[in-house]
Amino acid sequence: MSLLDKTFDRTLDAWTHAYMAPAWRGAHLEGWLFEDAQARRAAEARLAQAGVQARFRSAYKPLLHYFLEEVERDGLVAAEIRYPLHEHAQAKRFTLEAYPLVALLDGVRVTLQPGASDLHYDVDLRYADGREIQSRVFAPNQLGHAPDGVAELSPTGWLRVRDAAGETRVDAAQATEYQLAFRAAVDAVRNHAWGAHEPYFERLEIRVDLPGIDFALPVDEEIVSTYEALHEDLYFSLLEHFQQHSGRPPGDRGLQPGQIIPDVRRHDGAARVRISVEAFTPISAVAPALPGFPLAQAREPLSAAQIAGCMAALGGDTFQATSRQGRPVLGTYLRGPGPAVFISGAQHANETSGVVGALRAAQALAASGKGHFALIAAENPDGYALFARLREQHPRHMLHASRYSALGDDIAYRERAPFFERDGRHQAHAISGAQLHINLHGYPAHEWTRPLSGYLPRHFELWTIPKGFFLVLRHHPGWGERARRLIEGVTARLARNVPGLVEFNARQLELFRAHALETGFAVMNGIPVQVTETDREELPMALISEFPDETVYGDRYVFAHTVQMETVLAATDIYRSGL
């Protein structure tokens, strides 16, 4: 069933066409929109041929693009930046929008200080030859409101026009096709007559084709992508709508709307948005197949067949749950001496380094003869399948639409039967008697934004930029002392056993602190940690790892799953030695 099929004129083409008219010869244009530098320079050249001086800039991360496109960086020794403050934005909003400028300007003394409220960055540049340059960088934003009434200050298109006589003819926000496509998609879903009971659909397919920005920065794993940002904004905006529709509180992870799938792709022309409600497609059985290489050499996420092959090779007492779409959730229990642990990966299916790390740890434990554990290497196979599909278009994007289950919920927060994937956990707990859950996770390896909904990802502001590998330990009341000993032991062992981990964390934490204006978590043995008492977890202790792996490849991926493996081995050994 189709909900929407609509096209929107390309804003850059519309502006170019309008101001090439002879009446505008001698005019000066400044425009901000969500297009890459190549397209903007080409439009400027066309207008120059018509006698119009134009400068088109990025409305997305304008300060970063200013330094990339307009600043002479050779010989630059210092940059003093006064960032805007706004009553409807967090204090760190514009320092995060400038990320990762401090790292990009390596060797330059960069200072970030609070400035005025007029949506400009004031920039003072000093060069080795004594030159000093002052400039103001406009950050076009517009105030709006989320469906629950929360104010949102969001980037917007903007156009300034002075005619040949120097008179200002236009100086106002302009809704670009990027913004219009987003609003049309969200409005189409909001205005549809959904039922009263979850889930509301099986699959909600959202295909968007439009121009935009997508490039890698020479800073760690950073990329700048309006396509990724739109995917994220559509996905979480629609989750928020269905939370409100169902009467749930904002951020509720038990919501089961169905599978929301934004598929955003590059198209150099008019933007097009298509939305349809679809049934699940039949799945094919996966034949287990061992990888043709040692897991220690895995440089990209494993396929479902490779995961199945590795699970089968472990042996043990197998158990299985079934996902909402009918895929097997594979588990195994290996008996051994001492207390058992439960090891899991890919609760959030776009966090894949934990899958390889869990399997590598299981292989090492089994080979030692001392392993006693239950294992589910990939808890969310439906999400994992969607992740594989979406990666074909955007291999480095974080792709959070594949994070949750095909029901649309976080499987750890599933509230009622049928439990589908979560039944695998129930079986693992029952068969092993484990009291420690080692739950391997990841988070974005580059900046996470929602530019059309206030820029920072709502409810996930802590995760917006990387801050190294860190650990979260949740424990039941009465388990605090054991939890403390576990986290101290694990962090000490990781710092000792994983070459480069402490240095990796230090680099990312330094950049995090520079742009987020906060220290984040406490740091123990060079590893950020958070320890919380709660009765929410099913087992008395849950050690949750977080590596910035969305989405990395090659040496970084090997490093990621090595850290995950070492976490399991350290936690298992310390736990078995008695806390």
Hunting for tokens 């006064």 — which residue is that?
82
Dihedral sign, Cα of residue 393, residue 397, residue 400, residue 403: positive
Angle of helix 480-497 relative to helix 501-516, nearest 10 degrees? 110
| Structural tokens at position 119 | 């949506």
What value does the mean pLDDT take over residues 335-353?
97
Separation of alpha carbons 490 and 467, rounded Å: 18
Contacts with 331 (C-beta within 8 Å, 6 or more apart), sequence order: 311, 318, 319, 320, 321, 374, 375, 376, 424, 427, 428
Question: Residue 552 above 80 pLDDT?
Answer: yes
Q: What is the pLDDT of residue 388?
A: 98
Mean pLDDT of 143-166: 94
Q: How far apart are CA 559 and CA 353, in angstroms?
A: 9
The pLDDT > 70 percentage for the chain reads 100
Q: And the tokens for 23?
A: 């009446």
pLDDT surpassing 80 at residue 579: no
CA-CA distance, 215 to 71, in Å (whole number)? 19
Asked whether residue 178 carries a pLDDT value surpassing 90, the answer given is yes
* pLDDT over threshold 80, residue 520: no
- Res 313: pLDDT: 98
Q: Which residues of 384-405 are buried (b: 16+ CB within 10 A; e: fewer)?
A: bbbbbebbeebebbbbbbbbbb
Instruction: Read off the pLDDT of each residue in 124-128 and give the average, rounded to a whole number.
Output: 98
pLDDT digits (tens, 9 = 90+) for 219-275: 999 999 999 999 999 999 999 999 999 999 998 999 999 999 999 999 999 999 999
Strand partners, 118: none
Question: How many angstroms separate the CA atoms of 72 and 125, rounded?
Answer: 10
pLDDT digits (tens, 9 = 90+) for 443-479: 999 999 999 999 999 989 889 999 999 999 999 999 9
Distance CA 273, CA 451 (A): 18
Helix (H, G, I), strand (E, B) or coil at 385: helix
- Evaluate if residue 32 carries a pLDDT over 80: yes
371: left (phi over 0), alpha (psi -120 to 50) or beta: beta
Digit-coded pLDDT (tens) for 288-318? 999 999 999 999 999 999 999 999 999 999 9
Query: What is the distance between the alpha carbons of residues 60 and 62, in angstroms, rounded to a whole number?
Result: 6
- What does DSSP assign to residue 18? H
Whole-number mean pLDDT of the chain?
97
336: its two tokens: 């051994």
Predicted structure pTM score: 0.97
pLDDT band at 480 (very low <50, low <70, confident <90, very high): very high
pLDDT mean over 28-40: 98
> Please, which residues have CB within 8 angstroms of residue 511's CB and are 6 or more apart in sequence?
99, 100, 102, 103, 465, 466
CA angle (562, 567, 569) in 5-degree steps? 95
Q: How many residues does the chain have?
A: 579
76 band by pLDDT with thresholds 50, 70 and 90 = very high
